[in-house]
Structure 1
C-alpha cells in the first residue's frame, strides 16, 4: 500500500505536467514538466515521504526498461537522422559534459557541509 501511494503521487505529477503542457502549448514533455514540479515541491518541503522514496527506488531499478522504447525508436529512424549526425554528436557530447559538471557541482555542495571522517566532529 505504501508503494502504491508513491506511484499515485508520481502519476499525479505526470498528469499535472501533461495538462500544463497541453494548456500552455509548451514544447516540453509532460513527464519532464511534472518531475520539475515535483522537485520544486520536495525542495520546498525539505523531505521526501517513505512511499515516494520506495516507489522511486523501484522505478530506478528498471530505468533501462523505461528508456528502451526511445532508444529503439531512434534505431529504426536512423536514416532520417543521417544528415544531422554532426548536430546530434555535438548535442550528445555537450549534454554529457554538462551532466558531469552538474553532478560534480551538486556533490561538492552536498559534501561541503559534512564533517570529514575521522576528525571527531
Structure 2
C-alpha cells in the first residue's frame, strides 16, 4: 500500500494499520529479547529484532506504508533516542580508557565494514536500476 493509499483509507482503518505496524515493531523487539534471554547469545535482543524485521521486509519486498509512517518520525529524531546510551558511556570512562586501543580498533573496523557493505549494496542496486 502506497503512502497516498494509506492517506485515502478511512480514519479507523488507517489508525488500525498504524497500530499494527507499531505493535509489529514492539513484538519483534520483545521476541528478540526473549530469544537472547533463553539462548544466552551475546547479542542485543533489539539487534536480533531488527534482523528479524529486515528478513520480513526482504521477504515482503519493501516497506509497508503504515510501517513507514510509524518509523519516519523515529528516524528523524534518532539522535534523541541515542542520548541515554551516550550518557551511559560516561559511567565507564575508566574501563574505556583501560581498553582504549581495542575500542578504537573495533570502532575503526566496524566503520570500515559498514562503509564497505553500504558501497557494495549501493553498487548492486545501481547496476540493477541501470537501463
TM-score normalized by the length of structure 2: 0.82
Per-residue deviation at 1:111?
0.7
Per-residue deviation at 1:57?
1.2
* Higher normalized helix content (fraction of residues): 2
- The answer for the alignment partner of 2:71 in structure 1 is 56
Corresponding position: 1:107 with 2:122: yes
Corresponding position: 1:34 with 2:53: no
The whole-number CA distance in structure 1 between the counterparts of 2:97 and 2:63 is 43
- The answer for the alignment partner of 2:6 in structure 1 is none
TM-score normalized by the length of structure 1: 0.88
Corresponding position: 1:24 with 2:42: no
Corresponding position: 1:96 with 2:111: yes
The whole-number CA distance in structure 2 between the counterparts of 1:91 and 1:3 is 38
- What SS does the corresponding residue of 2:62 show, helix, strand or coil? coil
Matched residues, number = 116
- The answer for the alignment partner of 1:79 in structure 2 is 94
Q: CA RMSD of the aligned region, Å?
A: 1.3
